[in-house]
Structure 1
Amino acid sequence: MKPLLLSMRPRQWTKNLLVFAGLIFSGRFTDGESVNLALLAFAAFCLVSSAGYLLNDVLDRDSDREHPEKRHRPVASGALSPSTAMIAAAVLLAAGVAVGAAANTVALLALGAYAANQAFYVLAGRAIAIVDVFVIAIGFLIRAVAGAAVLGVFISPWLLLCTLMLALFLGFSKRRHELALQSNSRSSLRGYSISVTDQFIGITAACTVLSYSLYAVQSETAAEHPLLYLTIPFPLFGVFRYLQLVHTEGDGGNPDATLLTDPWIAGTVVAWIAVSLLVMSDVLGSGG
């Protein structure tokens, strides 16, 4: 049971927290029905994404054995058989669809788009440099759009751009980490170098902060909640801290683990969420 749970990668469910962006920034986090819909969408994405991870591990089991870290994955190490992993993936996918259907039709459509994106990544996209990271980033966009669409609320293009840039930033940081390990387990790495990934990281880091700042001062949400600009320092600090970890401590290979284990990153995320909720509920006032 433990090998199966590890292969489901519950730590990576943190990525699915993006579905709550629409709930938070629409100010509907006090509405019970909206919260329930967001929770159902979150659960559905967790189930479907875990199915994708299992499929990925089965297909990658041979190359993973050559990776200094991935060789410990249950399927690669032999702790979980490929047949068991595939059966579990099918069950998780079916469960995810059922949970999505319990939300609404929009959730099902979003899950379908996400599953198609994941399938493209596993079957083709991951082998092509730059395309591999963009496909992953599109998965993040789908989560953010789904969270808003399920509730029937508008999501700012600036927030979507920020989501895309943040996902690219994290993705290229991960590729840099893999290059530093001199890993040969990913074919797309042949199209990267440390110097080019550093340029990609710098560009996407700047765009992440800029797009969020524009969202916090120029979006419709900012017009309704003028103090939203108070949340800008948190993503700025978070990006700086992550860059520090990537360039001084050789981190960046596992963004999900960093979010949960680095006290500065974790604290920044918690503080950002807290201040965002206060601003969106107008507890801090509406003057400006």
Structure 2
Amino acid sequence: MRAALSALRPRQWTKNLLVFAGLIFSGRFSDPESVRIAVLTFAAFCLVSSAGYLVNDVVDRELDRQHPEKRHRAIASGRLSVSLALILACALLVLGGGAAWAAGIGALGSLAFYAANQGFYVLLARSVPILDVFVIAIGFLIRAVAGAVALSVTISPWLLLCTLMLALFLGFCKRRHELQLESNARPSLEGYSLTVTDQFIAITAACTVLTYSLYAIQSETAQHHAGLYLTIPFPLFGVFRYLQLVHAKGEGGNPDETLIRDPWIAGTVLAWIAVALLVMSDRLGGLL
């Protein structure tokens, strides 16, 4: 049971929190029905993403056994059999589809796109440098869009671009960490070098901050909610802190664990959420 649970990678469910972006930035977080739909969409993505992790680990089990960290994964280490992992993946797909259906046709359609994107990654993209990170980033983008589509709300193009740039930033940081480990467990690493990866990281870091700043200043949401610009320092600090962890401490291999373990990153995210909620509820209007 413990091996099966670890193979689901519950810590990586934090990535699916992106589905709540539509709920927060539409200002509908006080509406019970909207919250119900968002929670069901989140649950659906958690279940289906875990199914994807299981399938990916089955396909990569031989390569993972050569990796200094991934060799401890449940399937690579033999603690979870391939047959049981595939059965569990199918069950999760069915449960995830059911949760998405309960959330609405928009959530179900988005989930189908996400599953197809995961399949494309496992079958082809993971072996192609740069494309591998882009396909992963598109998965993040689908999560953000899914939360908005499920609620039938629009989401700013600037916020979508920011999501894409942030996902690319985290993805290239992860590739940099793998290069430092000098591991050959990922075929696409042959197309990367520390020099070019550092350039990718610098570009996407700058674009992340720029696109979020434009969202917080020029988007339609910003026009309706004075003070959204007050949230800009939080992603700026978060990106700087993450760059410090990557370049000064050699981290960046597990963004989901960094979010939980690093108090500065975790505190910044919580503060950003708190201020964003206050701004979207217009409770700061009298102070601006």
TM-score range, shorter chain: over 0.9
Contact conserved, 1:227 with 1:287, CA < 8 A, in 2?
Answer: no
Contact conserved, 1:231 with 1:276, CA < 8 A, in 2?
Answer: yes
TM-score of the pair, normalised by structure 2 = 0.99
SS in 2 for 1:74: coil
SS in 2 for 1:77: coil
CA distance in 2: counterparts of 1:232 and 1:28, whole angstroms:
21
Aligned residue identity for 1:190: E
Aligned to 1:153: 153
Aligned to 2:268: 268
Superposed, which structure 2 residues align to 1:231-242 within 5 Å? 231-242=231-242
Q: Does 1:75 align with 2:109?
A: no
Q: How many residues align?
A: 288
TM-score of the pair, normalised by structure 1 = 0.99
Contact conserved, 1:51 with 1:92, CA < 8 A, in 2?
Answer: yes
Aligned to 2:244: 244
Superposed, which structure 2 residues align to 1:51-200 within 5 Å? 51-200=51-200
% identical equivalent positions: 73
Moved over 2 A (4+): none
1:226 shift after superposition: 1.6
SS in 2 for 1:76: coil
Q: Which runs of 5+ in 2 are unaligned?
A: none
Contact conserved, 1:226 with 1:287, CA < 8 A, in 2?
Answer: no
1:107 shift after superposition: 0.8
SS in 1 for 2:38: helix
CA distance in 2: counterparts of 1:91 and 1:272, whole angstroms:
36
Contact conserved, 1:175 with 1:253, CA < 8 A, in 2?
Answer: yes
CA distance in 1: counterparts of 2:98 and 2:137, whole angstroms:
25
Contact conserved, 1:44 with 1:100, CA < 8 A, in 2?
Answer: yes
CA distance in 2: counterparts of 1:35 and 1:97, whole angstroms:
19
Q: Deviations over 1:112-153 (max 9, x none)?
A: 000000000000000000000000000000000000010000
CA distance in 1: counterparts of 2:177 and 2:183, whole angstroms:
9
Aligned to 2:16: 16
Q: Which runs of 5+ in 1 are unaligned?
A: none
CA distance in 2: counterparts of 1:12 and 1:113, whole angstroms:
19
